[in-house]
Structure formats: C-alpha cells, structure tokens
A = this chain, B = another copy of it.
Amino acid sequence: MAPPVVQPLDEREMSAWHALIHAHSRVIRRLEAELEAEHGLSLPAYEVLAHLSMAPGERLRMSELAVHAVLSPSGLTRLVDKLGREGLVSRDRCSADARVVYAVLTPLGRTRLDAAYPTHLRGVREHYIDLLSGEQRDAVADALGGIVEHSQKECEAAVAAECEVAEAEMVTEPA
C-alpha cells in the first residue's frame, strides 16, 4: 500500500515532454493553415486522400483508413461523408461482406490530391524535416517510432486482457 513513488521529471525529461507537445502543435497548425488556405483541405482530409491514392485500387476499408489517418471511426465516417459530398471519394460496399465499406478515390479526388501534394510536401519540409539534421531526423524517427510500436502492442495486450476477463467471468457466473 506504500504509494509507488514515481520519480518526478527532471529538467531534461520535462524538456523532452514540452518539445513533443509544442513542436507538434506548431508544425500541425502551420501545415494545416496552408493546406486549408491553398486547397480547402484539412490535414485529416489530405491524409485520407493520400492514403487512398497509395492503396491498391485506390480503395481502403473505413477501419483501415481510420488507423492511418489519426481519427476515430466516427470521425472518419463524417470526414468521408464530407469528402463524398465534395465528390472526392465515393463509398463502395463490399460484396463479400456487406458490413465493410470501401472508400474509393474518385478522379476528382485524385486531381485535388495532386494539386495539394506540393503544398503538403513543402510544408512538411519547411516546418519540420528541413529543420532537422540527418541524425536528428533518424533519431526522432527511431525514438518516436518505438513509442508508436510499443503503444500498439499495449493495445493488443489490453484487448487480450479483456478476453481473459471475459473468460474469467464465464467461469465465475455460469449464469
């Protein structure tokens, strides 16, 4: 019952923390502002189009898209609604499994994406990549990439744990 004394953040740790928060905020804000001003696309919208364009058949399931774009399933549904109204993507129900929906890039969507690509690329370079040395870039990719991986594993572990709990309940309350 002794409180699990956690070491307070020292100055370096603190600065690594604030750096993540503030750098992300600054980079994203600028990039999004440019994308919005020049092409009327939000960053999530751009990312959806970009991921679709790289997928085989320029189509992806909603759930896959939600993972790539950083969006909840419901957020993605609404975003695809919006892009659909603008004619940039269309929906396509899967014939094999009527639950799944594919988002498909339309020719117009491809055109808009191609137009927006230089803006996005320039923004990412100007506000982020080109401000880092090669070593810094690799170090960041390595460090933060590791966090992403770790986080994914923990999610899977959490799901597994839930299953075990469910099984335990099956035993505890056999109804």
Contacts and interface: CB of A to CB of B under 8 A. Distances in A.
Interface of A: 3, 6-9, 12-13, 15-28, 30, 70, 118, 121-122, 124-125, 127-129, 131-132, 136-148, 150-151
B6 A144 contact: no
Given A26-B147, A131-B147, A139-B139, A125 B6 contact: yes
User: Is the contact region of chain A dominated by helix, strand, or loop, or is it mixed?
Assistant: helix
Q: How many copies does the complex hold?
A: 2
Contact of A131 (B15, B131, B139, B146): B146
B140 A19 contact: yes
Contacts of A27: 20, 147, 151
Contacts of A28: 21
A145 B124 CA distance: 17
Contacts of A16: 128-129, 132, 137-138, 140-141, 144
A148 B23 contact: yes
A128 B12 contact: no
5 contacts: A15-B141, A131-B147, A132-B146, A139-B140, A140-B143
Contact of A70 (B22, B145, B146): B22
